[in-house]
Amino acid sequence: MASKESMELRGVIARNQRWDLIVGTVGLLATALGVIILTLLFLDLVLDGWRRLTPEFFLNFPSRRPEEAGILSAWVGSALVMIVTAFTAVPLGVAAAIYLEEYAPKNWVTELIEINVTNLAAVPSIIYGLLALGLFVYILGFGHSILTAGLTLGLMILPIIIVATREALRAIPVAIREAAYALGATRWQVVSDHLIPYASGGIYTGVIIGLSRAIGETAPVITIGALTFIAFLPPIPFSGDPPAGPFDWLFSPFTVLPIQMFNWLSRPQSAFHVNAAATGIVIIVATLAMNGIAIWLRSRIRAKLKW
């Protein structure tokens, strides 16, 4: 039988364990709250908009008549802007991260740059829009174009890519670097033969997280003057008469999905609100798909790395 001492101990343990139960329950509720709200929001969008998700919705230009209106110009615009964004932000971000992590001397200048990069990630996106309006639209004369939008969003996600790449580089053990250096590799050989391949999972993740943030951005794209109603596509290279140049599409006016959605939401007719909900579904699915690809790529590359 339990002695008096052990009965006392059990009382103490039970009291201590009560806190485990409380913290566990509160934590579960907090976690569930986020998931539930997200699910409800998405369900609400789906209930409102699923009827409009027909093939025509993707193939039609916007229109005065809500039933005929579609998101062709918006999703093509979003896709092209994302291409420019990726081509700008990935090389710049990866190069900056490699420099900071592998080449830069560890002194106060580097530290200042690092703090700045982290701070840039916290700058509100509309500030990037204002910067781009001055720099790309007026000073460099790129106009209210796909190029301007892509560069703007590229700058905006640059810190995300830099931070993700640096973390991926830091996760590579010193022993692997030393093994390569000990065989007479130069810094660049270590970077290109080892560090970039081993960090690629983390780099892809950063790129895709960055792009999935960029694809939903509205404020900076409005600031630089994206159109809200557009019934034509950017010129396809070498098509038309006279034939378009290979890069003419970069200077074309455009719109993107969130702007199209915003435009429809601000109309009084409720039929347009259905279109907006349908566009919202498209944006969320695109974002979730990108995140899914990021997770898949990371796990596939991680499977090959054991340390």
Partner 1 sequence: MSEQNNATIVSEPLKAETRKFNFYYGDNHALKNVDLPVAERMVTALIGPSGCGKSTLLRSFNRMHDLYPGNRYEGEIRLYPDDVNLVSPAVDPIEIRMRISMVFQKPNPFPKTIFENVAYGLMVRGEKRRSVLEEKVEEALRGAALWEEVKDRLDDLAFNLSGGQQQRLCIARALAADPEIILFDEPTSALDPIATASIEELIAEIKEKVTILIVTHNMQQAARISDYTAFMYLGELVEFGRTDELFVRPRKKQTEDYITGRFG
Q: Where on the chain is the footprint of partner 1 (CB under 8 A)?
A: 105-106, 173, 175-186, 189, 193-194, 198, 304-307
State the minimum distance, in angstroms, from the CB of residue 196 to partner 1.
13
Write the CA distances from 88 to 20, 67, 152, 157, integer angstroms: 49, 37, 9, 10
Specify the residue, 181 or 229, whose C-beta has the smaller distance to partner 1. Answer: 181
**Residue with Cβ nearer partner 1 (31 or 186):** 186
Decide whether 52 or 177 has the Cβ nearer to partner 1: 177
Least CB distance to partner 1 at residue 55 (A): 45
Q: How far apart are CA 307 and CA 303, in angstroms?
A: 11
CB of 269 vs partner 1, minimal distance in Å: 58
Amino acid at 97: A
Which amino acid is residue 111, in one-letter code? E
CA atoms lying within 13 Å on the CB side of residue 266: 8
Closer residue to partner 1 (CB): 52 or 298: 298
To partner 1, the closest distance from the beta carbon of 113 in angstroms equals: 17
The answer to whether residues 251 and 143 touch, using CB atoms and an 8 Å cutoff, is: yes
Task: List the structure tokens of 166.
Answer: 């640096």
Closer CB to partner 1, residue 2 or residue 175?
Answer: 175
User: What is the Cα 116 distance to its own chain's centre?
Assistant: 20
| DSSP 8-state code for residue 195 | I
Considering only CA atoms, which of 84, 63, 53 is closest in space to residue 283? 53
Shortest Å, Cβ 91 to partner 1: 24
* 164, burial (CB in 10 Å: exposed 0-12, middle 13-18, buried 19+): buried
